[in-house]
């Protein structure tokens, strides 16, 4: 005994969701390119963002952060909580204490 109804194929057309990964990557790269030129402290923030990625060479970031800190000056770095957090993450509390000492010396 068959079914008296005729059914259409049940395969539905799936809507393709556009992959926006490339546009997100380009948008992020554009943001950092302009942010780094607008404010020198953003270069340290960029290093902080790079440090959050898995598999990053921490020693190269540590060396670059040291160069930027010397270039910007201890007092300016201490004004930004994000940069202080990066210093603490890379160099520990001793690094933050040394920054405070250098800021007092130059003031």
Give the list of residues 6+ apart from residue 27 with CB closer than 8 angstroms, or none: none
Alpha helices in 1-107 (DSSP H): 21-38, 41-51, 58-72, 74-78, 81-106
DSSP state of 107: -
Helix (H, G, I), strand (E, B) or coil at 71: helix
pLDDT score recorded for residue 98: 94
pLDDT, tens digit, 9 for 90 and up, residues 28-82: 999 999 999 998 899 999 999 999 999 999 999 999 999 999 999 999 999 999 9
pLDDT score recorded for residue 2: 61
Burial call 29-48: b when 16+ CB within 10 Å, e when fewer: eeebeeeeeeeebbbbbbbb
Q: What is the pTM of this model?
A: 0.72
pLDDT score recorded for residue 65: 94
pLDDT score recorded for residue 31: 92
Using N-to-C axis directions, what is the helix angle for 21-38 and 41-51, rounded to 10°? 150
């Amino acid at each position: 005994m068959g079914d008296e109804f005729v059914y259409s194929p049940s395969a539905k057309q799936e809507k393709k969701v556009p992959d926006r990964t490339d546009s997100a990557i380009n948008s992020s790269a554009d943001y950092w390119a302009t942010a780094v030129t607008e404010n020198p402290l953003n270069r340290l923030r960029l290093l902080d963002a790079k440090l959050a990625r898995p598999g990053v060479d921490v020693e190269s970031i540590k060396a670059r952060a040291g160069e930027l800190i010397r270039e910007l000056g201890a007092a300016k770095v201490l004004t930004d909580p994000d940069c202080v957090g990066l210093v603490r993450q890379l160099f520990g509390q001793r690094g933050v204490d040394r920054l405070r000492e250098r800021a007092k010396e130059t003031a």
